[in-house]
Structure 1
Amino acid sequence: MFELIKKKLKHTDGYPYLLSILEHCLQMTYKRNGSQLQQWQLLDRILQQIVLQDEKGEDPDVTALENFNVKNIIKM
């Protein structure tokens, strides 16, 4: 999957941002029962919403965000 994304973005202005995103992902820790899993879930949902938005910024499918509360995911 990475090779496909890399091939798609390699010679674009977006490539440095892809590398930055991946670098930040490498810095995230993972523990099965910790808040880190919730951080990965939050990142996944943010990316889902970005991908699903149309050109007007509207999201045709808000099901993924029903009862979604960032405070419940990120415990500060």
Structure 2
Amino acid sequence: MKTRGVVNAVIGIWFVIAPWMLGFSYNAGAISSSNVFGTLQVIMSFWGTNKLGWKPRQNWVSLITGLWFVLFPFIY
């Protein structure tokens, strides 16, 4: 389960730095949304790496942030 947590953390870190890497740092809504959901993804993924198994709330948070990451480019 540690591999899943690390991969989720890397995805979350990418979304935290993506506004500056992809050049949409001029949009305040995109920056705040990307930072909030990316940070939430990182926190939940690191929280899951030190526990046995993957808890249902972590699955839901991962699902919600994953859906947001898919919809994010179409919204902004």
Q: Which TM bucket (shorter chain)?
A: 0.3 to 0.5
What is the TM-score normalised by the length of structure 2?
0.39
Larger radius of gyration: 1
Q: Which has the higher helix share?
A: 2
What is the TM-score normalised by the length of structure 1?
0.39
